Amino acid sequence: MSKPKDNPMDNILSLAKRRGFVFPGSEIYGGLANSWDYGPVGSLLKKNIKDLWWKMFVESREDVVGIDASLLMNTKVWEASGHLKEFSDPLVECKKCHGRFREDNLEGDKCPSCGEKESFTEAKQFNLMLKTFLGPAEEEANQVYFRPETAQAMFVDFKNVLQTTRVKVPFGIAQMGKAFRNEITPGNFIFRTREFEQMEIEYFVKEKEWAEHFEHWRQAMWQWMEAVGIDEKMVHELEIPDGERAHYSKRTIDFEFDYPFGRKELYGLAYRTDFDLKNHEKGSGQNLKYRDPETNEEFLPHVIEPTWGVDRTILAVLVSAYTEDGDRVFLKLPPRIAPYKAMISPLLANKPELVKMAKEIFDDLKTEFSLAWDDRGNIGKRYYAQDEIGTPYCITVDFDSLENKEVTIRDRDTGTQSRVPINELRTFLRTGVWGEAHSQK
């Protein structure tokens, strides 16, 4: 068991690796630059976060529908959206060590790699679109791009959504999934990678109502952060001033988080006007206007875009949840996103009657809850392991359980233990875990 180190990022990295949250990608082959794999516990955490988002913003609302589009889209999409021309970062190269860096991320005039002063070349724009080829011939004609954001599919599928659903402005189209960017300097663990996941909503409104919807989504993003367990004291809104916003945006707020490596972007909220639909109308030659069913008026809706990075959410959640209490390290994850809602274990693994009873409880509850089973070592070690992956409750069957049909439940945050009748466990886990989740909405 490793003792916590002083550097908070090292603590998170070491916990993530030893408990199976996140592994370096392709590790047995020496890795692949800044790629990461979510392990058994991390993939559960990620799934729970994405499920919560979908429940909160799609299933619980009448005004948002979801889509799940292809990662590869027609190149004309990226011509129309401006990504092929504009989606670039300023790249500089150190003349001494030939390291390449994003100019706007540099601090001072020293090369972050070799320390040489004023050694940078002039910045040139480097396009972040990631290319691949479809079909057997590697020629220009077959070249396509992986999507750099999930957002454009919501505009490209806008007409199909209008024709197949009963949505009326104001309404949103939501999507979550992978996006790819050929980042110049990926790094800081899962903060900046070339392959990552986003959760995005394009919310279509009447132009004159944009400000009130912007405010609604600003509040909704704060509610999300509370629900997912991001420490609100570590989040700061940054109003992007005129001249620094993307040219089509009339208002943008970045939500920044105090990561161990500094205050940087977590989420974004932008008013994108009718820029995207207008460009896709032009690019595709199709009419993408919305017809108001009451007035019969046709218009291009304006768009409010709240955007969330899944991987940055996971990082912010881990940083917020990481708690040291004396020698004890635990993740104070909200039960609704914890990889396991409870651990079930027999006090002793070599007592068949205890194992049998614990197994029956496990089999009965596992149809409804994600559960961990652990019968290794002593109970203290099992608690230690579950604390580190944020399991809210540890349920133990002991000799008394055989007599009085009660088990011990140990609470992750307080360490307190209570006795609960076995036939009340399901309700306990529902109200303690899912009951809480429902009351948030």
252 near ligand ATP (CB under 6 A): no
Q: How far is the CB of 386 from ligand ATP (least distance, A)?
A: 29
Cβ-closest residue to ligand ATP?
Answer: 309
306 binds ligand ATP (CB under 6 A): no
Residues 146-205 within binding reach of ligand ATP (CB under 6 A): 149, 181, 183, 192-193, 196, 198
* Interface with ligand ATP (CB under 6 A), residue from 159, 280, 302, 312: 312
Kindly tell me which of 196 and 369 has the beta carbon lying closer to ligand ATP: 196
Binding to ligand ATP by residue 302, rule CB under 6 A? no
Taking CA atoms, 365 is separated from 36, 46, 84, 422, in Å, by 32, 22, 51, 11
> Where do runs of H (alpha helix) occur along 210-351?
210-228, 275-284, 310-321
The span from the CA of 191 to the CA of 186, in Å, is: 8
- What is the DSSP pairing of strand 251-259 with strand 235-239? antiparallel
Closer CB to ligand ATP, residue 184 or residue 344?
A: 184
Residue 44: CA atoms inside 13 Å, Cβ hemisphere, count?
A: 20
**Shortest spacing between CB 416 and ligand ATP, in angstroms:** 37
d(CA 25, CA 28): 9
Least distance between ligand ATP and beta carbon 197 (Å): 8
256 forms part of the interface with ligand ATP (CB under 6 A):
no
| Site membership for ligand ATP, residue 93 (CB under 6 A) | no
Q: Which C-beta is closer to ligand ATP: that of 307 or that of 320? A: 307
Cα separation, 290 vs 206, whole angstroms: 10
267 sits near ligand ATP (criterion: CB under 6 A) = yes
Q: How far is the CB of 383 from ligand ATP (least distance, A)?
A: 34
Neighbours of 236 (CB within 10 A): 13
Site string for ligand ATP, 114-153 (x = CB under 6 A): -----------------------------------x----
Name the DSSP letter for residue 128: -
With contacts defined by CB under 6 A, name the span among 304-312, 357-365, 384-392, 402-410 that binds ligand ATP: 304-312
Compute the least distance from the CB of residue 149 to ligand ATP, in Å.
6
DSSP 8-state class, residue 322: E
Considering Cα of 252, then 253, then 258, then 262, what sign does the dihedral take?
Answer: positive
Q: Which is nearer to ligand ATP, 259 or 267 (CB)?
A: 267
Does residue 83 bind ligand ATP (CB under 6 A)?
no
Residue owning tokens 């790249």: 91
DSSP of 182-227: --SS-BTTTTB-SEEEEEEEEEEE-GGGHHHHHHHHHHHHHHHHHH
Backbone angles phi, psi at 188, to 5 degrees: 60, 55
* Minimum CB distance to ligand ATP, residue 279 (Å): 17
**To the nearest whole angstrom, how small is the minimum distance from the Cβ of residue 294 to ligand ATP?**
35
Residue 52 pairs in a beta bridge with none
Interatomic CA distance for residues 381 and 390, integer angstroms: 14
Report the residue number, 198 or 396, with the smaller CB distance to ligand ATP.
Answer: 198
E strand or H helix that includes residue 262: strand 262-273
Residue closer to ligand ATP by CB (options 201, 354) is 201
CB of 403 to ligand ATP, least distance (A): 53
Q: Give contact residues for ligand ATP (rule: CB under 6 A).
A: 149, 181, 183, 192-193, 196, 198, 265-268, 307, 309, 311-312
